[in-house]
Structure 1
Amino acid sequence: MLLCGPSGSGKSSLAVRSGLPVLALDDFYKEGDDPSLPRVPGTEATDWDAPGSWDAEAAVAAVAALCRTGRTEVPLYDLASSSRTGSRTLEVGRTPLFVAEGIFAADIVERCRELGLLADALCLRGRPFTTFRRRLLRDLREGRKSPAVLVRRGWRLMRAERGIVARQSALGAHPCAKDEALGRLAAAAAGHRAGGRPRTRVPGATAPAKSQQPQPR
């Protein structure tokens, strides 16, 4: 199950609520000194909301490894320093599928479908101002960047939110509110088809330990 949506839309908390194992795709961000990082237009600041800031190939490889073997190595990524601090092994147990969530999950929908890995793809949507407020409070609480940077980023994302949802929907993710998303997750976990897409059987799964809970972008 791929779960995307704007930053602050509630992807990480919903993934945990589903009770399924969770692969946090935001851990596949590139490091801050990567020369291929995109820039915010007209500035020298890195655009961490552009797909080019993220390693899609490594993310797909991790999804494929979980589906094939039930385990994979995942980077430990620190958002405040924009760097990888190590890695961990993510193992899934005996549930039929897992959730891979992140703001760029829609960018790997087609590739996962081609590989026969996709059960469903969902895009969380809500009210832009609610998302802005939730995201800003979270980012300030966690000290991810300076307050000025967080406010500027948050304002830019709020104005762009409807376009973000439209883009992710065009890439193959079904736009929905949290209640519908939970329902589709439950249907897929129970072995039913969700939205006409076949579920993919995954070898095993157990919910991630508390220390492995995703760090939302």
Structure 2
Amino acid sequence: MAQDAVSGAESPHRRQGLLRDQVQLVKRKDSSDRYEIVPIQDSLSFEKGFFIVIRACQLLAQNNDGIVLVGVAGPSGAGKTVFTDKVFSFMPSIAVISMDNYNDASRIIDGNFDDPRLTDYDTLLKNIQDLKSGKPAQVPIYDFKSSSRIGYRTIEVPSSRIVIIEGIYALSEKLRPLLDLRVSVTGGVHFDLVKRVLRDIQRAGQEPEEIIHQISETVYPMYKAFIEPDLQTAHIKIINKFNPFTGFQNPTYILKSAKVVTVDQIKAVIAAEYTETKEETYDIYLLPPGDDPEACQSYLRMRNRDGKYNLMFEVR
């Protein structure tokens, strides 16, 4: 068992050298016999964060008795599930619990699926307690298209003793005291919300207009009010910089030039089979709630082109 600290580094503030040496354990302030890692101040890339999380899980399992609970949180579409799946593929002996399955449709208020009150914490905490007690947990299965719980599945106590709780509220105040490791995954405002739109179209069967309205009215306000403060408590902060444009099947390319070019000059270099069309386009700029209009650097632009909506990046 570890003493006061376990690390390859000389101090919590000196983290040079190999990545594995950047993970240092210290005794938890709320427990005399459990350890957590010293928070890493710098944000990490997806790949570096993956390596650090693996190393932290290994050290915590070596030095803590019983179940090691890891919380992976972040806004919708940030890449939490992808990250957790990557950890699971490397450590298949762990167990993963998605908080999405603890949605309680009976608690939905004004169609807000991102309200923290929607989470059935009673069942989640019971499942966690069962695993900590060495018993199998009956984890609910939630169907997004019908917005209902359709059954349960059994999760056994994993041989590695590592359990990952993944969800937008995985670092909430109700779960934090139970967690040995807290991880946040973010991808920037635009990345997170665009991925959310694409995912919900496929998973929930919603129309794009409905999703965009939901994002501007509920998702982003919920993120600023409840999720973002929780993410500040993470031991490990990961920024997923994957380019979201690679997910679009039908991208729109807009070419800009400092030179003024006439229509005749354009037609002279374009093949004859191309036709000229005119479309009515107007933009709506969404200001993130609570941001100063003069200082905001991350507007969301919603473009309506002949009745078709596109959520676009706009940085000012």
Q: Same fold (TM over 0.5)?
A: yes
Runs ≥4 in structure 1, deviation > 4 angstroms?
Answer: 109-112, 158-165
Report the equivalent of 1:196. Answer: none
Report the equivalent of 2:76. Answer: 7
1:82-122: CA deviations, max 9, x gaps? 10111111124311311011112122x55552xxx421122
- Shift in alpha-carbon separation, 1:131–1:30, aligned structure 2, 3 A: same
In the alignment, is residue 96 of structure 1 matched against residue 158 of structure 2? no
1:38-49 residue pairs with structure 2 within 5 A? 38-39=108-109, 45-49=110-114
Q: Which has the higher strand share?
A: 2
The separation in 2 between residues aligned to 1:38 and 1:110, in whole angstroms, is: 20
Partner AA of 1:122 in structure 2 = V
Report the equivalent of 1:30. Answer: 104
The separation in 2 between residues aligned to 1:96 and 1:178, in whole angstroms, is: 27
Partner AA of 2:229 in structure 1 = R
- Shift in alpha-carbon separation, 1:152–1:17, aligned structure 2, 3 A: same
Secondary structure class of the residue paired with 1:121: strand
Q: Which has the higher helix share?
A: 1
The worse-fitting range, judged by mean Cα deviation, of 92-101 and 155-164 is 155-164
In the alignment, is residue 136 of structure 1 matched against residue 210 of structure 2? no
Give the aligned CA root-mean-square deviation in angstroms. 2.4
Report the equivalent of 1:169. Answer: 231
Instruction: Please tell me whether the aligned partners of residues 11 and 124 of structure 1 are also in contact (alpha carbons under 8 angstroms).
Output: yes
1:14-51: CA deviations, max 9, x gaps? 111112321111111112xx2xx253xxxxx2211111
- Shift in alpha-carbon separation, 1:144–1:103, aligned structure 2, 3 A: farther
The separation in 1 between residues aligned to 2:99 and 2:108, in whole angstroms, is: 18
Aligned-pair distance for 1:169?
3.1
Secondary structure class of the residue paired with 1:177: strand
Q: Which runs of 5+ in 2 are unaligned?
A: 1-69, 89-93, 241-316
Aligned-pair distance for 1:3?
1.2
The separation in 1 between residues aligned to 2:145 and 2:186, in whole angstroms, is: 26
The separation in 1 between residues aligned to 2:236 and 2:215, in whole angstroms, is: 21
In the alignment, is residue 85 of structure 1 matched against residue 159 of structure 2? no
Question: Structure 2 length as normaliser, TM-score?
Answer: 0.47
Question: Structure 1 length as normaliser, TM-score?
Answer: 0.66
Aligned-pair distance for 1:138?
1.4
Task: Kindly tell me the number of residue pairs found equivalent between the two proteins.
Answer: 165
Q: 1:149 aligns with which of 210, 215, 218?
A: 210
**Greater C-alpha Rg:** 2
- Shift in alpha-carbon separation, 1:84–1:165, aligned structure 2, 3 A: closer
The separation in 2 between residues aligned to 1:161 and 1:16, in whole angstroms, is: 23
Instruction: Please tell me whether the aligned partners of residues 2 and 101 of structure 1 are also in contact (alpha carbons under 8 angstroms).
Output: yes
Aligned-pair distance for 1:134?
1.2
In the alignment, is residue 64 of structure 1 matched against residue 125 of structure 2? no
- Shift in alpha-carbon separation, 1:162–1:125, aligned structure 2, 3 A: farther
Aligned-pair distance for 1:147?
2.7
Partner AA of 1:15 in structure 2 = T
The separation in 1 between residues aligned to 2:236 and 2:114, in whole angstroms, is: 19
1:45-94: CA deviations, max 9, x gaps? 22111111111121111112122225200111111211011111112431
Aligned-pair distance for 1:140?
1.3
- Shift in alpha-carbon separation, 1:177–1:163, aligned structure 2, 3 A: farther
The separation in 1 between residues aligned to 2:149 and 2:174, in whole angstroms, is: 27
The separation in 2 between residues aligned to 1:74 and 1:167, in whole angstroms, is: 27
The separation in 2 between residues aligned to 1:112 and 1:162, in whole angstroms, is: 19
Taking only the aligned residue pairs, the percentage that are identical comes to: 24
Instruction: Please tell me whether the aligned partners of residues 131 and 158 of structure 1 are also in contact (alpha carbons under 8 angstroms).
Output: no
The separation in 2 between residues aligned to 1:152 and 1:175, in whole angstroms, is: 32
- Shift in alpha-carbon separation, 1:68–1:77, aligned structure 2, 3 A: same
1:184-199 residue pairs with structure 2 within 5 A? none
